[in-house]
Amino acid sequence: MVQRLMMRRILKTGVWLGIAAWFVVILGFVSATADQVLCMRIDVVLSDTLSSRFVTDSDVRAMFRSEGLQLQGYPLKEINTRELEELLEKNAYIKDAEVSYDVSGRMEIQLEQRIPLVRIMPEGREGFYLDTEGIVLPLSTQFVPHVLLVSGHIDPADNSPGTTQLQEIFRFCTYVAEHPFWSEQIVQLYVNRRGEYELIPRVGAHQILLGSMEQWELKLRNLELLYNQGFSLYGWNNYSIINLKYTNQVICTKR
């Protein structure tokens, strides 16, 4: 009985050793085959194409050509995927790049684009975008996103103590973009010479004076109450100016 059990164990061990040896041979064959595979096809996969179309398939291929990179028809083992990712991530509009390939000779390039939040148009200066992470992006000649516009007296080089002007704008626009009502109602901010903000609404022929960014969330709540409770009774076009400069009150000027 003991002898039979030992024979079974020896047999099982032999079977498993044989399977392991077979896997080693197969993996070695696959590895040797992969070393000989040529790059036959390149697929570019772009994320967030509904909200961001700064980069196209053609742009990616043009970037490779400008660097003198020849990929198709060359062995995959000679292609440094990390170098390709670093090259792609130098593009201001690309947040992240992942390059991979398989034994069929197909290379896949997955790109995550930056998503524009607001367009900044300083008076007398070249405009730019801030993305959803506060990163500055240049204007694009091939894509103009429909985002909030901020114009007027804006100094991108403002490094004053505390909150800088761009940080104020970024926080305010992030809140507006994520708010179900304000994202539809506020279409533009204007910064006057005193550094005070004016809001331009989509609906209603009135000017909204926000003043400074101090307690802007409270000011917007007061304005929303006016819209919901006051304008629903008296109409949207009876006032020419809505003044929110004073935190605890809303001053309306009739036409």
The CATH code of the domain that includes 62 is 3.10.20.310
Q: Is the pLDDT of residue 137 over 90?
A: yes
**CATH code at position 162:** 3.40.50.11690
- pLDDT averaged over the chain? 85
Among the three residues 113, 135, 157, which one is the final residue of a domain in this structure? Answer: 113
Question: Given this model, what pLDDT does residue 28 score?
Answer: 46
- Do 131 and 170 have their domain in common? yes
Give the dihedral of Cα atoms 212, 215, 216, 219; nearest 10 deg: -110
**Per-residue confidence (pLDDT) for residue 27, from 0 to 100:** 43
Same domain, 102 and 227: no
Task: Please indicate whether residue 13 or residue 180 has the higher confidence score (pLDDT).
Answer: 180
* Cα angle value 100/106/112 (rounded, 5°): 45
Closest CA to 168 of 184, 189, 182: 189
Mean pLDDT calculated for residue range 198-208: 90
Q: Provide the pLDDT for residue 156.
A: 77
Token pair for 86: 């670093």
Q: What is the pLDDT of residue 206?
A: 87
Burial of 55 from C-beta contacts in 10 A (0-12 / 13-18 / 19+): buried
Pairing mode of beta strands 116-122, 106-113: unpaired
d(CA 35, CA 78): 9
Do both 121 and 203 map to the same domain? yes
When pLDDT is averaged across residues 172-178 and rounded to a whole number, the result is 97
Check if the beta carbon of residue 87 is closer than 8 Å to that of residue 19: no
CB atoms within 10 A of CB 239: 22
**Res 251 pLDDT > 50:** yes
Same domain, 139 and 201: yes
Q: State the residue range of the domain holding 238.
A: 116-254
Q: Are residues 250 and 132 in the same domain?
A: yes
Residues 181 and 131 in one domain: yes
Work out the pLDDT band at 97, boundaries 50, 70, 90.
very high
What is the rounded average pLDDT of the residues 154-165?
76
Residues 106 and 160 in one domain: no
Domain's final residue, options 113, 129, 150: 113
Residues 88 and 195 in one domain: no
Identify whether residues 201 and 100 lie together within a single domain: no
Mean pLDDT value of segment 34-56: 85
Note the pLDDT of residue 217. 94
Query: Residue 145 has what pLDDT?
Result: 92
Q: Is residue 25 part of a domain?
A: no
Residues 70 and 158 in one domain: no
Domain boundary among 113, 129, 152: 113
How many Å apart are CA 146 and CA 209, to the nearest integer? 23
* Number of independent structural domains in the chain: 2
For residue 13, being part of any structural domain is answered with no
In a domain, 189, yes or no: yes
101 and 222 part of one domain? no
Using an 8 Å Cβ cutoff, are 126 and 155 in contact? no
Domain contains 55: yes
Alpha-carbon torsion, ordered 162, 163, 166, 170, to 10 deg: 150
Give the global pTM.
Answer: 0.79
127 assigned to some structural domain: yes
Residue 179 falls within a domain, yes or no? yes
Residues 134 and 185 in one domain: yes
Residue 31 lies in a domain: no
Could you tell me the pLDDT band of residue 106, with boundaries at 50, 70 and 90? very high
Largest CA distance in the chain: 107
What per-residue confidence (pLDDT) applies to 232?
67
